[in-house]
Amino acid sequence: MIYWAQLLHFYQPPTQFHPILEKVCQESYYPLLKVLRAYPHARLTVNINGVLTEMLHQHGYGDVIQGLRELAEKGQIEFTGSGKYHPILPLLPQDETRRQIQHNFRANRQLLGPAYAPQGFFPPELCYSSALKDPIADAGYRWLILAGVSCPVDWPLDVVHHVDAEGQPLSVIFRDDILSNKISFQAVDAKSFLEHLTQLQGKRQDIYVVTAMDAETYGHHIEGWDRVFLAGVYEELEPATATVQAAATVGAASGPRAGKALAEQHRGLLTSTEVSEQVRMVKVSELLDLFPAGRAVEPRPASWSTSEQDLGAGNPYPLWNDPGNSIHRLLWEHLNLCIDMVHRAQQWDRSGRSLHYARIARAMLDRAEHSCQFWWASRSGRDPNLVHKGLMEQEEALFNAYNAVAKSDASEDRKRDSYYRLLAARNLRDRIKDLLLEM
């Protein structure tokens, strides 16, 4: 048997505009829910960052949250943990990492209810370093998923390796990067995808394959990919009668003719049950019970956008912290100054006004740690306005942190030192803005 575990990652940054969120919901989230409802035999794992769950609630898209909750209650999907504001966790101090993990759980549990009971953990962008092991294990997770490029040993198809964290094993699941990217870039269709899975089995009795990608791939990044690829795969893995009915249901999103055409398109493939007898869809957590434990490993620091060439160049997070990218370097210097200042503000929040500014600074810092500002400064992004939006959130956190210190009962020496740090941050901000003007 070939066990296919699929993970979809739902995320929008805290700086996202309402019209774009609406567009993503209409093009991707609603169509995905329609497909999953039409094929109740489908099984998958879902990560949704708490910032997006809250945004959906605040912007009037609670029915997306309700749809995911219902799928989880039926056992069709499971959720994972993550960092609330989608930060690059290996590049944050551990106390910030733990805070992001805790706040993600609280936000999702509040809006998704008891159906949000994650066993596994999704590091944003699948960015990993050994510093993540303990915070993830301490939060009670059984497993984490990483990019295939992080795998330090022979590719695991029939065992589940683990990392040692706080003296206990934390199972590690590696994504098939090549296959996931083929799906994400429309380089494989439903039939060839399933054929590829069957070819991987070889002489092994049971194997597993894990794919993971942005949920927005379906419909938003690639128009109709939810119907053409996902529905196509789900149809192949379902009895013929139910498949034709489901195809018509999904296709109806584009009108009755499209629904009939989609059903007819796959009718010829439904007479054979060979593929459905070989491939079974599962949630990632089920792999831990289906396959024996492997050995302790130490994954390589990397992301799901990291290549072997990047690793060879000592660049594990190329789209967020490229050593050759001056804007990346200055943004991280600025963010680390913000973190330091917010921590100082929390130490001296004695009076009412000081406490008020300290709380604002703390909330703004949580948001300012999101990954997108760094991505937009990368070779793949290159949008100065979106980098600037992230920089302004950092600046707001810094402004309020300094205000908290200045109005506290801290000594004059501490206040003066904080002011010098504020001046240093201003210098970094201006240098970043100058570089953005050259993009």
Residue 185 to residue 127: CA distance in whole angstroms: 21
Say yes or no: 103 and 202 in one domain.
yes
Counting Cα atoms < 13 Å in the Cβ hemisphere of 260 gives: 3
273 in helix, strand or coil? coil
Q: Give the CATH number, domain containing residue 90.
A: 3.20.110.20
pLDDT at 273: 56
* 246 burial level (CB within 10 Å; 0-12, 13-18, 19+): buried
pLDDT at 342: 97
The amino acid at residue 314 is G
CB–CB of 318/310 below 8 Å? yes
Q: Is residue 311 part of a domain?
A: no
The amino acid at residue 207 is I
Which residue in 46, 105, 103 sits closest to 70, CA to CA?
46
Final residue in a domain of this structure, among 257, 281, 296: 296
List the domain range (segments joined by +) for residue 195.
2-296
pLDDT at 202: 81
Contacts of residue 295, defined as CB under 8 A and 6 or more positions apart, other chains included, come to: 153, 161, 162
Q: What are phi and psi of 12, to 5 degrees?
A: -140, 145
Looking at residue 370, the DSSP 8-state letter turns out to be B
Beta-strand (E) ranges in 292-379?
Answer: 293-296
Alpha helices of 201-273 — where are they, by DSSP H? 225, 232-236, 240-251, 256-267
For tokens 């370097």, what's the residue?
329
Say yes or no: 253 and 128 in one domain.
yes
Give the 3-state DSSP-derived string for 346-397, with helices as H, strands as E and coil as C.
HHCCCCHHHHHHHHHHHHHHHHHCECHHHHCCCCCCCCHHHHHHHHHHHHHH
* pLDDT value at 265 more than 70: no
Q: Is residue 79 part of a domain?
A: yes
Q: Is residue 321 part of a domain?
A: no
Q: Is residue 382 part of a domain?
A: yes
Q: Is 186 left (phi over 0), alpha (psi -120 to 50) or beta?
A: left
Q: Is residue 173 part of a domain?
A: yes
160-165/168-174 β-pairing: antiparallel
pLDDT digits (tens, 9 = 90+) for 174-222: 999 999 999 999 999 999 999 999 999 887 889 999 999 999 999 999 9
Q: How many domains does the chain have?
A: 2
Say yes or no: 262 and 357 in one domain.
no
Say yes or no: 380 and 282 in one domain.
no
Q: Is residue 28 part of a domain?
A: yes
* pLDDT value at 257 more than 60: no
pLDDT at 254: 47
Say yes or no: 336 and 281 in one domain.
no
pLDDT digits (tens, 9 = 90+) for 319-332: 999 999 999 999 99
CB–CB of 296/169 below 8 Å? yes
Q: Is residue 92 part of a domain?
A: yes
pLDDT at 239: 55
Say yes or no: 268 and 416 in one domain.
no
Mean pLDDT of the 411-420 span: 95
Give the 3-state DSSP-derived string for 134-167, with helices as H, strands as E and coil as C.
HHHHHCCCCEEEECHHHCCCCCCCCCEEEEEECC
CB–CB of 323/414 below 8 Å? no
CB–CB of 17/55 below 8 Å? no
Say yes or no: 42 and 191 in one domain.
yes
Say yes or no: 382 and 292 in one domain.
no
Q: Which two tokens stand for residue 137?
A: 């294990």
CB–CB of 12/28 below 8 Å? no
Give the pLDDT band of residue 277 (cuts 50, 70, 90).
confident
Say yes or no: 254 and 341 in one domain.
no
Say yes or no: 375 and 264 in one domain.
no
Contacts of residue 210, defined as CB under 8 A and 6 or more positions apart, other chains included, come to: 4, 5, 6, 7, 145, 173, 174, 175, 176, 284, 287
Say yes or no: 283 and 367 in one domain.
no
CB–CB of 101/154 below 8 Å? no
Which residue in 130, 247, 121, 232 sits closest to 183, CA to CA?
232
Q: What are the residues facing 2 on neighbouring strands?
A: 207, 279
Say yes or no: 181 and 269 in one domain.
yes
Q: Is residue 185 part of a domain?
A: yes
Can you give the pTM of this predicted structure? 0.91
